[in-house]
Amino acid sequence: MDIRLKRAYETAARSDGPRVLVDRIWPRGVAKADADIAHWLKGLAPSTELRKWFGHDPDKWAEFQKRYLKELNSDDASDDVQALKQLLEEKERITLVYAAKDTEHNNAVALRDFVLKDRL
């Protein structure tokens, strides 16, 4: 299983595999035609409250991951979690697409780590 991460502002590549947007809102300034998004799984994004609380503060990273993974295990996210599971079974490689400037502390990183630890 190969899960790549890429900012929405980076150019799509054929090697990306299916590109899955994991943000609740569409990235500003990115045309839908240019983004080459195969799936937009809004339910995999952290809640607005959690996202605002976190504010991409590296000091809150560990707590953010705990709270975010709790949200992923809720009924609200279950349909999109199932869709991601299905996609991972069907495809050798996928790319999780996100808009955050911080490439090390964002929901796509936490989601990939969660999946690779075989918790999904």
Rounded Cα gap, residues 20 and 29, in angstroms: 18
Q: Domain ranges in the chain?
A: 2-116
**% pLDDT > 70, the chain:** 98
pTM equals: 0.90
User: What average pLDDT does the segment 44-51 reach?
Assistant: 94
Q: What is the pLDDT of residues 58-113, one digit of tens each?
A: 999 999 999 999 998 888 778 888 999 899 989 889 999 999 999 999 999 999 99
pLDDT of residue 118: 66
